[in-house]
Amino acid sequence: IPERAKVPLLTPSIPAFEVRAGHIYKKMAVCLETSEQDEPLLAQVLPLVGAAGAELVLIHVAESAPARFLGHGVLDEEARDDSDYLERIAEKIRAAGLRCLTRIGAGEPEHEIARIAEEERVDLIIAGSHGHKFFGDIFHGSTVSQLRHMTKIPVLSIRPPQPSSSK
């Protein structure tokens, strides 16, 4: 067997995180599903947002039948409840010293997340990778791939820590 020629691997330069993070990610969006999965997701996202000094946009896509069929102008009871939920979270985030706003979408999740993120001019979309509502549909199907292809905005998928099981 002939010996392979050794090719030196070039080490890429790594920009200083402290200098670049705030310049790259000025506005981040996090997709919430209004479930128990939101708290561990936010626990991982908020330090990242704080380190970058970014503004946070909380996004939720309403799943009711009117929301799916009528689109983002609908204000049914579920959409109002979802909006109230996001605003309660936003108030806590603002009280912690971070800038935060909320957006509710309605319809197909990948279309609405992309639309809202582009309207808000976010630099990064962050979504949980485990859920039982629409995130279950999103991440077990092709929605993440569709979202990635619908927008040029980077998409970061975070799997919240799972409770350890005793065996």
Q: What is the pLDDT of residues 84-112, one digit of tens each?
A: 999 999 999 999 999 999 999 988 888 99
pLDDT in the model for residue 147: 82
- Residue 73 in this model has a pLDDT that exceeds 60: no
Q: Provide mean pLDDT across the span 35-39.
A: 88
Is residue 106 within 8 A of residue 79, CB to CB? The reply is yes
- The model's confidence at residue 132, banded by pLDDT at 50, 70 and 90, is very low
Question: Does residue 147 or residue 71 have the better pLDDT?
Answer: 147
Work out the average pLDDT over 74-84. Answer: 77
Residue of 56 and 74 predicted with greater confidence = 56
Average pLDDT of the segment spanning 144-164:
80
- Confidence check: pLDDT of 165 > 60: no
CB neighbour burial string for 55-89, b if at least 16 within 10 angstroms, e if fewer: bbbbbbbbbbeebeeeebebeeebbeebbebbeeb
